[in-house]
Structure 1
């Protein structure tokens, strides 16, 4: 008996020796046919659409877990090999003739898979601990994340900020004021230390005359920025770090009446001071800017992480109005469970605004 496949047999003795060459040729043709049939089935199973689906699932911000599960649970070895060959942005051809993960792709995917985990952890963490850890991380990262310190100090209530300072003591056995004074060497130090130390009055009372007078002081400091940076001006620091938020919003309005423009228009070169005023006086403008920056195609990793920080730390009502503006962009740029978290929080903010 001569074996052709696991299921096809021919009895050579039945036909005689003279038929052997013809049988050999028939065997070769049959094997070629079966091989072609197998390859066509493999190609049919490993459809290019799966390659496109995988590329899409792993591109953007976050990952599309449902698409990944769909691909991984229906594929066999040959199918996966076809996918690896088709996903050149994630796999590269090794010199030993196999497709391996690109190291940079692994690093990037770890970051993307981590986004949902970070959002869950920050959301479930006690607000005091969460803010203390964010402050510590921003301080370690240096000037590029000093804006996070400003955001926490200026968008929290007095009691929330005091709680974060207590948690910082407990977690790191130091005070945030001490660490800021020690590690921040630039002109930002006085402002940052004063901001995290603040315990503002939170009542509605505002003195219009005082607000008008302080608006003039701010205008003078900004107009004299060629002689001294506003961030180094003692009166600017005093006003921004001791006055209540309702009072500062009145100062903001008085400044606009006096000068014909907003305070931040004259502070393009003073980014940290500009963000301080936005967080205190026009937080919605600040939150919108953070979302816009994070969802840009060329956004860096620190900018993208700001999305997680905002949805995990801000009350839903603070983000109302942002959903309509960014929902489509989030649908387009963000993937999977992480996208669901972002849209869920923003939708909650919209409902809070309608209540």
Structure 2
């Protein structure tokens, strides 16, 4: 074990100023593919990480050094080595302070377990000395009510004039949805109340039906259901919705960006992630390319097999084949190591 840590440390440290040893890093990914505890041990033993707090924090100087050595490959390697809480906290901070899609926050808040999301909030406290909740509440109001805002268009952001968009979407209601999602601590058991699920399916349907009079994102009952109910309950609610209204809620919310994203994530994370990956292959925008690394690294130890299956079903292609087709070099090899059995 000590020899493996030493080899990985040397690989990250570069070759005497000649660059990072990418081949060794790819080898590490392959060997430690399903052993996150080894990465935890590496973080604890490595001078690249500070282990004094509740999680092994990646040193900012290390991140800057890696960025100087190589470009896209760092997105895979640094995020792979990071503690998952820190990785998600840094992504949320990037969204709130840079031009990245709000969908990333919805994605993280809606697909992580209750304990994982709690850990992300703890990491955000330690890294940025603010809570995610206060940052979201403030920056949705301030940053996205300026000259432009950021909405989703096929999972990649499109800047548009604030006045046009905000005529139809109030920042307060939008902020309430996001704060509710990031502060959730959902029940994760299998028990569900069938009658309650039917009742709430009707509530959702009536709100969507009356969208011309009142946007569903401004409906407190809609926000309550999506931000507090267990995923098992929401899945059953969506099933009843389709039975009642003859159409999936996914299709009925297609014009409601954040609600649509939240519904997709809560109903089927693998299906949602397969869509994000496919759009990343299609798009040339930097946020699209970043999405490929973000999703594959964060889900490699969680539900990658389910994502591969969902991708095959939706696009009639193997995810591995699409990675080979759309990426190159050690970046491609690293991604393949993370998705293969």
Alignment correspondent of 1:334? 327
Out of 122, 125, 133, the position equivalent to 1:169 is 125
Aligned pairs (5 A) from 1:217-232: 217-232=203-218
What TM-score do the two structures reach when normalised by structure 1?
0.64
Q: 1:180 to 1:317 in 2, by over 3 A?
A: closer
Q: Is the 8 A contact 2:88 2:120 kept in 1?
A: yes
Residues 275 and 179 of structure 1: CA distance in aligned 2, closer, same or farther (over 3 Å): same
Q: Partners of 2:140 and 2:196 in 1: how far apart?
A: 32
User: How large is the RMSD of aligned CA atoms in angstroms?
Assistant: 1.9
Establish whether residue 140 from structure 1 lines up as the match of residue 97 from structure 2.
Answer: yes
* Residue 345 of structure 1, aligned match among 321, 326, 338: 338
Residue segments in structure 1 that go unaligned for 5+ positions in a row: 1-64, 67-109, 349-355
Aligned match for 1:309, one of 255, 278, 294: 294
Q: Which runs of 5+ in 2 are unaligned?
A: 1-21, 24-66, 142-170, 313-317
Mapping for residues 193-204 of structure 1, pairs under 5 Å: 193-204=179-190
Query: Per-residue displacement from partner, 1:166-217 (whole Å, max 9, x unpaired)?
Result: 1111111111111111110224211000101111111110111110110000
Hey, what's the Cα distance between the residues in 2 that align with 1:337 and 1:307? 15
Measured against aligned partners, the alpha-carbon deviations of 1:57-106 in whole angstroms (never above 9, x if no partner) come to xxxxxxxx99xxxxxxxxxxxxxxxxxxxxxxxxxxxxxxxxxxxxxxxx
Q: Give 1:299 shift.
A: 3.2
Give TM-score scaled by structure 2 length. 0.67
- The separation in 2 between residues aligned to 1:148 and 1:273, in whole angstroms, is 13
Quick one: distance in 1 between partners of 2:340 and 2:69? 23
* Structure 2 counterpart of 1:59: none
Query: Would you say the 8 A contact 1:211–1:247 is kept in 2?
Result: yes
Tell whether 2:227 aligns with 1:241: yes
Which 4+ runs in 1 deviate beyond 3 A? 110-113, 321-324
Whether the 8 Å CA contact 2:217–2:259 is kept in 1: the answer is: yes
Q: Is the 8 A contact 1:293 1:299 kept in 2?
A: no
Please give the residue correspondences for 1:139-158 in structure 2 after superposition, counting only pairs within 5 Å: 139-142=96-99, 144-158=100-114
**Residue 37 of structure 1 corresponds to which residue in structure 2?**
none
Provide the rounded CA distance (Å) in 2 between the counterparts of 1:272 and 1:112: 36
- CA drift of 1:141 comes to 2.2
- The separation in 2 between residues aligned to 1:123 and 1:318, in whole angstroms, is 15
Partner SS state of residue 255, structure 2: coil
- The alignment partner of 2:242 has SS state of helix
Deviation at 1:321, TM superposition (A): 4.6
Matches within 5 A, 1:50-199: 113-142=70-99, 144-185=100-141, 186=171, 187-199=173-185
TM-fit CA distance, 1:320: 1.5
User: How many corresponding residue pairs?
Assistant: 239
Paired with 1:282 and 1:266, the residues of 2 have a C-alpha distance of: 16
Aligned to 1:251: 237
Partner of 1:9: none
* Residue number in structure 1 paired with 2:163: none
Q: Closer, same or farther in 2 for the Cα pair 1:111/1:138, shift >3 Å?
A: farther
